[in-house]
């Protein structure tokens, strides 16, 4: 904001090309979104279903910003990615340990790219007879790879361009999740 371009810390220069969303910007937006979610569910009990591993940091910050007195947090695991390209398959695990019958469920994702993961997840959660299912994502990629018929995302923190991003939970081959900001991954090219 304010024309300030935040710089990538020295130790990450070789892996991160530039900062896309600063820690401050993420923090402000997450607070806004938490309030919005509180409004949407008012005093109804809510179940947050975080999708590991990418959403761990977002869930930690978002839940602290949701002003509801009755909120439960669970994590499930979804894996679909190898390196920077989608494998086209989604493996879900952990859903069998959560009782969602009659509950309002909010699925919290790190990023929606093709939409495949969210589609599989919403389908699987719906089959568990919950009262409602909605989705929240930190990042929503503006991509031509979005699959037809994938479900809407009710709560989006940031719309981003079609670039591979890392940090604030998002990884490249399991690393860089711990960056407090979201950065554009520096693709190593043979030039």
Report CA-CA distances (Å) from 185 to 13, 124, 166, 181: 10, 32, 6, 12
Residue located via tokens 């109804």: 44
CA distance 69 to 51: 22
Q: Which is nearer to ligand XMP, 41 or 110 (CB)?
A: 110
Q: Which is nearer to ligand XMP, 132 or 150 (CB)?
A: 150
Q: Which is nearer to ligand XMP, 34 or 110 (CB)?
A: 110
Structure tokens at 190: 């043979």
Residue in 108, 110, 157, 168 binding ligand XMP, rule: CB under 6 A: 110
CA distance 39 to 36: 5
Site for ligand XMP in 117-146 (CB under 6 A): 117
CA nearest to 115, candidates 95, 86, 155: 86
- Binding site partner of 181, from Mg ion, ligand XMP, none, Cβ cut-off 5-8 A by kind: none
- Binding site partner of 106, from ligand XMP, Mg ion, none, Cβ cut-off 5-8 A by kind: none
Using CB under 6 A, list all residues that contact ligand XMP. Answer: 54, 80-81, 86, 109-117, 164-166, 170-171
């Amino acid at each position: 904001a304010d024309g300030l371009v935040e710089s990538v810390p020295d130790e990450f220069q070789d892996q991160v090309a530039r900062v896309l969303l600063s820690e401050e910007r993420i923090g402000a937006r997450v607070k806004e979104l938490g309030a919005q979610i509180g409004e949407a569910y008012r005093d109804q009990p809510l179940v947050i279903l975080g999708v590991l591993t990418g959403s761990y940091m977002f869930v930690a910050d978002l839940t602290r910003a949701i002003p509801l007195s009755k909120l439960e947090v669970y994590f499930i695991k979804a894996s679909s990615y190898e390196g920077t390209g989608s494998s086209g398959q989604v493996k879900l695990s952990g859903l069998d340990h959560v009782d969602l019958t009659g509950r309002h469920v909010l699925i919290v994702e790190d990023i929606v790219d093709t939409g495949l993961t969210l589609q599989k997840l919403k389908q699987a959660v719906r089959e568990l007879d919950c009262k409602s299912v909605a989705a929240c994502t930190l990042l929503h990629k503006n991509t031509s790879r979005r699959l037809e018929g994938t479900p809407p995302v009710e709560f989006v923190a940031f719309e981003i361009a079609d670039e591979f991003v890392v940090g604030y939970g998002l990884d490249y081959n399991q690393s860089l999740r711990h960056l407090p900001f979201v950065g554009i991954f520096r693709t190593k090219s043979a030039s």
